[in-house]
Amino acid sequence: MTYHENYQKWLDVTNLTDYLRQELLAMDEKTKEDAFYTNLEFGTAGMRGYIGAGTNRINIYVVRQATEGLAKLIETKGDDTKKRGVTIAYDSRHFSQEFAFESAQVLAQHGIKSYVFESLRPTPELSFAVRHLGAFAGIMITASHNPAPFNGYKVYGEDGGQMPPADADALTEYIRAIDNPFAIKLADLEEAKASGLITIIGEEVDKEYLKEVKDVNINPKLIDEYGKDMKIVYTPLHGTGEMLARRALAQAGFNAVQVVEAQAVPDPDFSTVKSPNPENQAAFALAEDLGRKVDADVLVATDPDADRLGVEIRQADGSYLNLSGNQIGALIAKYILEAHKTAGTLPSNAALAKSIVSTELVTKIAENYGATMFNVLTGFKFIAEKIQEFEEQHNHTYMFGFEESFGYLIKPFVRDKDAIQAVLIVAEIAAYYRSRGLTLADGIDEIYKEYGHFAEKTISVTLGGVDGASEIKKIMDKFRNQAPKQFNHTDIAKTEDFLELTATSQDGSVEKLTTPPSDVLKYILTDDSWIAVRPSGTEPKIKFYIATVGTSAQDAQDKIAAIETEINSFIK
């Protein structure tokens, strides 16, 4: 069906919601094409897109269709699964609450129970609640750290991780098989609540989550001596972190936390920031202002659904340094392993997990403490799968998992990135360095002196619209079939193709990779630097990851600059 036909199909719906009809009528030709040339892709992590009318947008009809597919999947599992039901949470974005309750009403129409949070809650609490309530699945309405025009829909499995491949694939098929999203029926909301098919949850689940969070911090005595009056600035960036982070910090004994109150208010327009992304220093502008006023040691920011954490640390000259996701990961890993070693509680089978595009610095740190590092594909569900494997096989004890994209998980009562947990451990790490008369900036320097000068950079190239997907495919094909022999005058020692599941060494020998297939290429150089390239799973982007090891910080950065220039030339 052409985009014109899809557009007309929507326009012909007699009971179409008024605001969507008005949007349709106001569309120019270019907007029509982008809104209707394809369907919003439902991948293994769910879907994310611009809010608005159209098949390539997120709106009540697309949400209903996704939930109808989930209902059909649940029906194949039997009545007990329908009774276990689905837990639903949502963030502060436009239409998030509406999408959440629309989902519950679709499920109720099929006799499937749902537990819906009374107001916005973090993604990690949704993951926890699925496990805590024994639900079969979870729905999180969020677009994570994307700008205000976006929203999204993520589906979780019964372990609290993103839905496993077999069910996710079946769900995708059920969704695609629905021809007419406008015919999907909804149960009456008040009747469904009265019958118990829709149960509203809130504070009782918050309390249970906060009970589990008590075990995140390792050394309460250290916090009592050096953390209770340590000045920390926190901003939830208008999102869900406000619901739990402040309470969790107070519970742990951090009594001198200052919150950026202007950003503690839920705001779907994120009016105080250009983008609510804690990866970007620009998002810390108000936190830095407050930090300077109160002389804060550390600034922490969570994204709108509170699964990602950004950190800035005060330097000797009083300015704030924005840490990379890899630097935060290295600080956390080093502290967790060192603190447990000091306390005599480091297990002999300690294990960490990270994505294949995250720094090898943390692998070096893990090895130094006798811990095993597991490399998994990008996507926190693969770390969740490792945790499940450790628990079932009793072969390793999970200590920490992370992705360079600012996602961290300390305790596995949650099975996704958890910025609330990460805030607590970062605050404890700051107290630890304070106890030694040092700062987090000194801690980073110590790590580099001990393990070498590592540097990393991620480049995201957005290629949206009708031709975006084909352009991304062309770039991947070029790297796969015509890859350079060197980067920065340094030979490629090994090429890993995670789609073909092959690792080809310089001498031509080939090993088999053991991960699930994924469209990722990784080039490991003879100086231990590496480059990876992959399309984003949730956005119209292609990402390039550059990681170098140098004789000094400047040397490592110079290598990154040279490789970045080569990549830019190669993809033109």
Catalytic residues: 144
CB neighbour list of residue 419: distance below 8 Å, 6 or more residues apart = 122, 124, 241, 245, 302, 303, 306, 307, 308, 309, 408
Helix pair 60-75, 96-109: axis angle to 10 deg: 40
CB neighbour list of residue 2: distance below 8 Å, 6 or more residues apart = none
In angstroms, the CA 441 to CA 374 distance is 27
In angstroms, the CA 511 to CA 137 distance is 37
Closest CA to 162 of 357, 338, 388, 349: 388
What are 215-219's contacts with CB under 8 Å, separation 24+? 215/411, 216/252, 216/410, 216/411, 216/421, 216/424, 216/425, 217/252, 217/424, 217/425, 217/428, 218/336, 218/339, 218/340, 218/343, 218/425, 218/428, 219/339, 219/343, 219/428, 219/432
Q: What share of the chain is helix, strand, coil (3-state, %, to 5)?
A: 45, 20, 35
Question: Which residue bears the tokens 């999947």?
Answer: 73
Report the first-to-last Cα separation within the chain, whole angstroms.
33
- Centre a 10 Å sphere on the Cβ of residue 251 and count the other Cβ atoms it contains: 15
The amino acid sitting at 391 is E
Helices (H), 404-521: 419-435, 440-451, 468-482
In angstroms, the CA 407 to CA 453 distance is 22
Residue 389's Cβ-count burial label (10 Å; 0-12, 13-18, 19+) is middle
